[in-house]
């Protein structure tokens, strides 16, 4: 098929812009959104029914109506425009709906221009729906952007749209993805305690307790001192704890990340015996040491103790004679 230009405009009666189609006659959504940032589709007024019709779109590829693109003016769809339409689309793809859990999570935004600010991000992404969190990651000293950031939407639909396409932000193509920190659906561990990462210093135990109460009874909140940007929250019900694992929750405007309190390679067999509790038992203590990088220190200390024993073994009958009382 010869190259065809499709006439696209923001509104029906506005001056259209000609958008190039692909060799197969389709039009890529990315081509449209390059000119109309935030676009999620096209619609047109049917000459027959005089009703607005949506252009078929499959995985970011727009397909011409049966009669071809023609000379009609196609109007850009934005996610905000018509929520009812979004729900219809969701209902028609019920299979996909069941698969997803419909919960929003932080998305990483890769490829940001150095100059892009959080306000820029918020302005851009608000065209997809309500934005509840944006971050631009910066170097602590210089304040320079690291070229990536995070965004979180209220609506799951907004998130879906944003992931599905590339984004032209301040002149650069950016990608939005699930961050690596989001653990997939692996086998659940049965701890009642969760690890709360990315805490800020102003979060108190009371505030954390108040916040997590909404999910279930909280039996303990532990914040290490001095400040180390994480906390432990223990629930009465392990199912509550597990249901939160992998989630990004927003506390006082800060996105914290919930994960299992036990490490993945942890010594699970001891837990199952019930001989070690979930509080400050031996296993948990070792886990804590490993997580906080004190493990190596302890190992070094142990080596020194062994060295001490051997150095003093010459004057005694046994290397362990210092253990004896007489």
Residue closer to DNA (CB basis): 65 or 179: 179
Q: At what angle do helices 295-312 and 282-291 cross, to 10 degrees?
A: 110
**Which of residues 21 and 104 has its CB atom nearest to DNA in the complex?**
104
Q: How far is CA 263 from CA 194, 196, 292, 297, in A?
A: 11, 13, 12, 19
Which x/- pattern, by CB under 7 A, does the window 158-197 give for DNA?
--------------x----x-xxxx------------x-x
Q: How far is 23 from 20, CA to CA, in rounded Å?
A: 10
Residue 278 interacting with DNA (CB under 7 A): no
Kindly report the number of other CB atoms within 10 A of residue 159's CB atom.
24
Name the minimum Å distance from CB 105 to DNA. 7
Sign for the CA dihedral angle at 89, 152, 130, 126 comes to negative
Q: Which residue bears the tokens 């935004």?
A: 109
Find out whether 157 and 90 touch, Cβ atoms under 8 Å: yes
Is residue 290 a contact residue for DNA (CB under 7 A)?
Answer: no
Identify which of residues 21 and 105 has a Cβ nearer to DNA in the complex.
105
Secondary element (H or E) of residue 123: helix 118-125
Single out the segment in contact with DNA by CB under 7 A; choices: 10-18, 117-125, 132-140, 213-221: 132-140
User: Closer CB to DNA, residue 29 or residue 136?
Assistant: 136
* Region binding DNA by CB under 7 A among candidate stretches 31-39, 70-78, 101-109, 205-213: 101-109
Q: Is 53 in the site for DNA (CB under 7 A)?
A: no
* Residue among 22, 15, 85 at smallest CA distance from 54: 85
Peptide bond into 71 cis (omega under 30): no
Strand pairing partners for 248?
A: 257
Out of 121, 230, 235, 278, name the contact with DNA by CB under 7 A.
230
Size of the site for DNA (CB under 7 A): 39
Is 248 a residue that touches DNA (CB under 7 A)?
yes
Contact residues toward DNA (CB under 7 A) are 105-106, 108, 110-114, 133, 135, 137, 142, 144-148, 150, 172, 177, 179-182, 195, 197-198, 200-201, 228-230, 248, 255, 257, 259, 291-293
């Amino acid at each position: 098929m010869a190259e065809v230009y499709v006439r696209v405009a923001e509104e029906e009666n506005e001056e259209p812009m000609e958008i190039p189609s692909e060799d197969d006659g389709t039009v890529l959504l990315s081509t449209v959104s390059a000119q109309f940032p935030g676009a999620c589709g096209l619609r047109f007024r049917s000459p027959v029914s005089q009703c607005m019709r949506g252009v078929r779109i499959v995985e970011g590829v727009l397909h011409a109506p049966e009669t071809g693109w023609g000379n009609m003016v196609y109007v850009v769809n934005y996610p905000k425009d018509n929520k009812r339409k979004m729900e219809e689309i969701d209902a028609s793809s019920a299979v996909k709906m069941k698969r997803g859990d419909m919960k929003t999570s932080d998305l990483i935004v890769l490829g940001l221009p150095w100059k892009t600010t959080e306000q820029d991000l918020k302005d851009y992404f608000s065209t997809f729906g309500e934005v509840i969190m944006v971050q631009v990651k910066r170097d602590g000293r210089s304040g320079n952007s690291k070229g990536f950031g995070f965004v979180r939407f209220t609506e799951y639909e907004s998130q879906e749209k944003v992931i599905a396409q590339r984004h032209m932000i301040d002149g650069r193509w950016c990608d939005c993805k699930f961050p690596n920190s989001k653990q997939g659906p692996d086998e659940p561990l049965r701890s009642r305690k969760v690890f709360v990462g990315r805490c800020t210093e102003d979060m108190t135990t009371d505030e954390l307790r108040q916040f997590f109460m909404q999910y279930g009874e909280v039996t303990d909140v532990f914040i290490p001192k001095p400040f180390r940007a994480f906390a432990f929250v223990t629930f009465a019900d392990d199912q509550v704890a597990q249901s939160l694992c992998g989630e990004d929750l927003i506390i006082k405007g800060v996105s914290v990340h919930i994960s299992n309190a036990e490490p993945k390679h942890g010594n699970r067999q001891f837990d199952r015996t019930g001989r070690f509790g979930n509080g400050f038992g031996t296993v948990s203590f070792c886990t804590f040491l490993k997580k906080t990088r004190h493990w190596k220190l302890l190992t070094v200390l142990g080596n020194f103790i062994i060295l001490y024993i051997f150095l003093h073994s010459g004057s005694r009958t046994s290397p362990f004679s210092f253990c004896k009382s007489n």
